[in-house]
Structure 1
C-alpha cells in the first residue's frame, strides 16, 4: 500500500496562486531532502503538537484562537490522509456535562454520533449528483416542484421582481450553489418586538410552524403556502446567499427525480454504500451512541422535511469516510468530482467563495506566507451542536470536527485553527521533501553527446526548481531570458516544474512555469493589478514545432521515482544520473 509520504509527490505543490509567492518558513536553498523516516516524522510531530495544544486548551480553557469551557463542551476531531488507514490525528474530549440518563454516551470516540446541522446540505447535493443531477442542473425548479409551478401560473402571481420570486427562473443548480433567491421569525421568539418599535401582528401573520426552536417544521402544504408569499432578496445567480429553503426544495427535486423519499435516497445511495454506519436522519435508538449535552441541546428535535437542510446526524469517522470516497472517486467519476469542487460565486470576503454547497476558504501553505491552499469546507450549527467538514485537495486530506455543548462554537474554532495552522505547513514540508526525494538530481541524455544536462532541486518556492538546463552546450534558461528580453517579458526569476495530475502507471506529465518578474517590479508598492499574478495564463503558450516548450514527462520506475525526464520540445530523454 502507498504511504502518505509516497503519495504526497503525486499531489505535492499543486497551487493556484501567484508563483511569485514563496514561503520563507519552509525549505531554504541548501535544502537536503529528508529520509523517508524523517518525512513521516514531520507529520507525526505535527500531530503530537496538535494534541498537546488541544490538551492545554482543555486544561486551561484558553488558547490563542479563543477560549471555551471544556467542562461543559465535548468535541471530536479526526483527520485522515487518502493513503493511510490510520488517522493522522484522532482526538476526543468528553465533558462532564452530558445527559447520560437521556441516552448520552459517557465517553466520546470517533464513532460517537453528533447532530451535524448544515453539513447535511453536502449530502443533499451529493445525492442529487449520484442521481444524474448534473443533467437537471440548468433546468428551472418549476419543472420538478408543482407548488412552485402553480405559483408562477396563478393569476394573482405578481410579475414584479421586487414583490415575488420568479421561480421559473430559479434553476436546480442555483439552489444547490447557494445562488438562489431564498430563518427564523422574530414573532415567535423571545424578542421584545413592542420595545423595538415593531408593529403588532395579526394572528394569521404569526407562523405556527417553521424552523424556529420550539416549533415543528411546516408540512409541505403549509410550507409552500408561506414560501410563495416571501419577497425576493436578490436575483437568482446575482449574489451568494445562504438559504435553508433552497435545500428543502432541492430535496423535493431529488424525490421527484428518484421517486423515493429523501431518507431512502441518502441512506441507500450514500450511507450504506460508503459504510457510514453511524449516520442517519433520526437519532440512534441505542443508548450511548450519541453525545447529548445537559439542557435543551436539540438532540431529539423533529426535522420533518427540513432534514435535507440541517437534520442529519453523523460521527467524525463517518464524515472522513465520506471525504475519502470523494477523493477516491468511489461513486462520482473524476470529472464529475472536479466539476463539483469548484467555486460558484465570490462573497464579500477575499478569502471565501461558495460552491455547491462548499464554503471554500483560501489560506497559504505557511498560513501567513507561501502558496495558496484551498480548503473545501462545509459548516453546520444547530441547537448545542457545531460541525465542520474540511477537504484539502492539495494533500488529499480530510478533517471532521464535531462539538456539542454551550461552548461548541468556540471549541470547534479552537480545534480547527489549532489543527489547520499546525498541519498544513507540515504537509507542505513533507510533500516538498518527498517530491525532491523522488525527482531531485542531475539528468543527462544517453549517448556520446555529453554536453547536455539538467538539474532539479527544491528551494523556498513552490514546485521543483529547474536549477540548470544545458542542451548540447546551449543554456536553455539563458536562451529563455534572451527571448524574454526581446519580447519585453521581464526577468526570469525561476523555472519551476509542477505536476498536471495527468499520469499513467509509468509516466507523469509536468509543466515548467517560467516565474517572470517585470523589470521595474517593486514588491513594496501595492498594485491592484498584481504584475506577478498572470502566471496561470502561461502554460502551453510557447511552441516549437507544435510542441510546447514547457511540456515535460517523467518516466517512473517501479517505486514511483523518476528514472528519466523528457523535455518534449527537445525530442530527447534525459536519464537520471
Structure 2
C-alpha cells in the first residue's frame, strides 16, 4: 500500500470507525428512515393497532366516574384522524358539555407556553439571544427586594436571554402565584405561622383575585435564584413565560392576547381556543370544579389558555407544514433541543419537552417526540409532534379531586400506550408505501450497473445488491487500498443501508447510504469496554466522508413522478443514473 498523508489516514480511519453501529446493529441518522406514510389509516396494521388501543382505552376509562378524556392522533397527509377517542363520565357538572368530543374545550395549562415562544420567533429584529432586559428593563429593579445583595439572593437579569427563559435555562424560580399560603394551614407540616405582610392577596384560585403585572414586579424579587443562567440542569419556570409575554408586548406595543388571537388562532381557524374562560357550555367541567374559572392573570401566556383536540391538531399540522408564520428553516431550528436534563430520555427545547424513545420499533432506533405537557390541578394535557412520521398527537383530560381520580388518571400512561400501540403499525404502513414508491431494482444496461433496494426488520432500505460498471461495490469496498479492514474474519460481510434526508424538491429527493461493517456481537464486545452508551453509534460523523472527484460516495438522488414515486436513481459519485424496473 502506498503511503498516505496523516490527514487522509485520520479521515479514512474515522470513516471506518464511525461506521460501526449501535448495540442493536443499526445506527441510522436521527430522523425519518423512510418517507412518512401518506395513507396510514388504510393500512391493515394501523387499523388493527387502533382497535387494540381503543379496547385498552375503554377499559382504562371505565373506572372513572367524573373524569373526561379526549384524544386525537392525525397525520398531516390525511383528512381524517388515525385515532379519535372521547370518554364522557357518568357524573359531570351541569354547566359544561355532557357529551365529550374533539370540539370539547379543556384547559390546556402549560401547553399554552408554545404560543409566546412562537410569537417572539415571528418578530423581525428580535432574537432569542437578546437579553431579556433589552425589552423588560424593570426586571433589574427586582433585586432591590432581595433578602441580601449577593448572588445567593439576587438574579443576574442582564445575563438571562429570551431563549434562556423559553428553554428553562434562566435559573429563576418556578412561580410566584402558586404558593401554599392561601390554601390552608401548613404549620402541622413544620412551616412557621403566616406573616400576613408576606401574603400576595391574589392567586386566581380559591376565590382570590388574579395577580396582575404590578404584583409580579412588586414581589418576584423576593424569590431567590435556583441556578445561574445556562447551568447544566434546566429549572422549570412558569414565571419565565410570563416574562416572555412582557417582552413581546414591549417589543410590539401590542398585547400578547390580541396577537395570539388575531395572528395565530384566527388564521388557523382555531375557533375553540381562548385566552380567557369561554362560555361554560363549550367545555367539559368536572363536578363542582373551581379551576375551570380560575384566572392566572399576568401568568396567562404560560398556562392560562383553553382549547380542543381539533384546534390543537390544526395547530400541530400547521407547525409540521411550516404554516405558523415561520420559514421551513426557522421551524426546523425551533424543533431542536437546547438543553439536557438528568434524564437520558428527556431533552429541553423552547419550550419543548423532547422525549427520546428506542423501544417501539423492531429496529430499536431512536425516535424523538416534541411535546409539551400541561397540568392545572384538575386539567392535564399532552401536545406532541412526531416529525419522523408527520404525526400530531393530543391528549386532554379533566379529572376532579374526588375519588382520587385526579391522581389515578395519568396522561403519561395514555400517551405511552398510544405510542406503544400505534407507532409499530405506522412504521409498517410506511414500509408498505416505501416498497411501492422506492423499492425494487434500478438498472442501467449501458454501463452494466444495477442496485436493488429491499425492506426488512431494519431501518431504511437494505441495499441487497449494488453493481456499478460490472463491479460489486459491496464486495469490493473493504478492499480499497487506503481502507484498512476493521472487521474480524468471523464477522459478516459489509452491508449498506439507505436513508432519506431533508433535502428534496417536488421532483427529486436526496438520500444517503450508511455502511455497517460489524456484527451485533462485535459491536456489543467493543461497547462493553466503553463508558458512554452507544459509543459506536456516530453515523453523524460518517455521512459525506468518502468522496470521488468531490462527490460523496454515499449520495443517491431519486427522480420522482407527480405522485412521489421514484422512477430513477442517480449515484452521484459514480456518475451513473439507473432506471427503476417495473415488477
Aligned residue in 1 for 2:151: 161
Match of 1:5 in 2: none
Judged with a 3 Å threshold, the aligned counterparts in structure 2 of structure 1 residues 516 and 295 are, in CA distance, closer, same or farther, namely farther
Match of 1:220 among 213, 220, 229: 213
Question: CA–CA distance in 1 between the matches of 2:146 and 2:236?
Answer: 28
For the residues of structure 2 that align with 1:119 and 1:379, how far apart are their CA atoms?
Answer: 6
Equivalent pair of 1:185/1:212 in contact (CA under 8 Å): no
2:458 corresponds, among 450, 458, 461, to: 461
Q: Does 2:556 align with 1:552? A: yes
Correspondence list, 1:32-71, <5 A: 40-59=43-62, 61=63, 70-71=64-65
The CA distance in 1 between the partners of 2:184 and 2:520, in whole Å, is: 63
After TM superposition, the structure 1 stretch with the greater mean CA deviation from structure 2, 196-205 or 379-388, is 196-205
**Cα-to-partner distance string for 1:335-354 (whole Å, 9 max, x where unaligned):** 11000001111111110111
2:317 matched to 1:324?
Answer: yes
Q: Do the aligned residues in 1 keep the contact of 2:435 with 2:454 (CA within 8 Å)? A: yes
In structure 1, the gaps of 5 or more residues are: 1-16, 24-33, 62-69
Shift of 1:434: 1.3
Note the alpha carbon deviations across 1:17-58, whole angstroms, 9 max, x for none. 9666369xxxxxxxxxx9x89962222222222212211223
Determine whether 1:172 maps to 2:169. no
Q: Is 2:367 aligned against 1:377?
A: no
Query: Counterparts of 1:201 and 1:170 in 2: how far apart (Å)?
Result: 33
How many Å apart are 1:197 and its aligned residue? 3.2
Displacement of 1:493 after TM fit? 4.6
Shift of residue 110 of structure 1?
0.4
Contact between 1:376 and 1:390, CA under 8 Å: does it hold in 2?
yes
Of stretches 374-383 and 203-212 in structure 1, the one that deviates more from structure 2 is 203-212
Residue 57 to residue 518, structure 1, CA distance change in 2 (3 Å): closer
* C-alpha contact (below 8 Å) 1:139/1:172 kept by paired residues: yes
Distance 1:533 1:115, change over 3 A: same
Name the SS for the 2:227 alignment partner: coil
After superposition, the Cα gap between the structure-2 partners of 1:145 and 1:435, relative to the gap in structure 1 and judged at 3 Å, is same
> Hey, what's the Cα distance between the residues in 2 that align with 1:254 and 1:302?
20
Q: 1:463 to 1:191 in 2, by over 3 A?
A: farther
1:487/1:405 Cα in 2 relative to 1: closer, same or farther (>3 Å)?
A: same
**Structure 1, 292-301 or 341-350: larger mean CA deviation:** 292-301
Residues 155 and 139 of structure 1, relative CA distance in 2, 3 Å threshold: same
Q: CA deviation at 1:209?
A: 2.4
Shift of 1:562: 1.6
* Aligned equivalent of 1:97: 91
- Given that residues 40 and 46 in structure 2 are in contact (C-alpha distance below 8 angstroms), is that contact kept between their aligned partners in structure 1? no
Partner SS for 1:523: helix
| CA distance 1:71–1:202, shift in 2 (3 Å) | closer
Alignment CA distance shift 1:265-1:439 (3 Å): same
Match of 2:135 in 1: 144
Cα deviation for residue 87 of structure 1 reads: 0.7
Structure 2: runs of 5+ lacking an equivalent? 1-19, 27-36
Correspondence for 2:31 = none
CA contact (8 A) 2:363 2:458 kept: no
**For 1:65-124, what per-residue CA distance to the aligned partner results, in whole angstroms no more than 9, with x for missing partners?**
xxxxx2111110011100101111111010122111xx2001111000000111110112
Q: Measure the CA separation in 2 of the matches of 1:219 and 1:365.
A: 45
Judge conservation of contact 1:189–1:212 (CA < 8 Å) in 2: no
1:108-155 CA distance string (max 9 Å, x none): 11000000111110112112222237x331111111113213446x69
Query: What's the TM-score once normalised by structure 1's chain length?
Result: 0.87
Partners of 1:271 and 1:37 in 2: CA distance: 28
Determine helix, strand or coil for the equivalent of 2:462.
strand
CA distance in 2: counterparts of 1:306 and 1:373, whole angstroms: 33
- Structure 2 CA distance for aligned equivalents of residues 484 and 283 of structure 1: 72
Once structures 1 and 2 are overlaid, which stretch shifts more, 155-164 or 491-500? 155-164
Write the distance in 2 (CA, Å) between the matches of 1:38 and 1:359: 27
**Are 1:542 and 2:542 an aligned pair?**
no
- Per the alignment, residue 64 of structure 1 pairs with none
Structure 1 position 294, deviation (Å): 0.5
CA distance, structure 2, for counterparts of residue 420 and residue 201 of structure 1: 46
Q: Which residues of 2 match residues 348-427 of structure 1 at below 5 A?
A: 348-364=342-358, 366=360, 370-406=364-400, 407-408=405-406, 410-427=409-426
| Residue correspondence of structure 1 range 229-248 to structure 2 within 5 A | 229-238=222-231, 239-248=233-242
Alignment CA distance shift 1:254-1:316 (3 Å): same
Task: Tell me the equivalent position of 2:479.
Answer: 482
Residue of structure 1 in register with 2:3 after alignment? none
Offset of residue 247 of structure 1: 0.4
The verdict on how the C-alpha distance between 1:55 and 1:485 changes in structure 2, with shifts beyond 3 A counting, is farther
Rounded Cα–Cα distance in structure 2 between residues aligned with 1:574 and 1:137: 46
Deviation string 1:348-406 (CA, Å, 9 cap, x unpaired) is 11101111010001113625861111111101111311111011000000011101123
Distance 1:425 1:38 in 2: 13
Alignment match, 1:30: none
Aligned pairs, how many?
534
Residues 298-337 of structure 1 aligned to structure 2 (within 5 Å): 298-330=291-323, 331-337=325-331
| Greater Cα shift, 462-471 or 526-535 | 526-535
Q: 1:489 to 1:158 in 2, by over 3 A?
A: farther
| TM-score, normalised with respect to structure 2 | 0.86
Q: Would the aligned equivalents of 1:518 and 1:531 in 2 still touch at CA under 8 Å?
A: no
Offset of 1:214 from its aligned partner? 4.8
Partner of 2:105: 113
Whether the 8 Å CA contact 1:39–1:433 is kept in 2: the answer is no
CA 1:571/1:514 → structure 2, altered by over 3 Å: closer, same or farther?
same
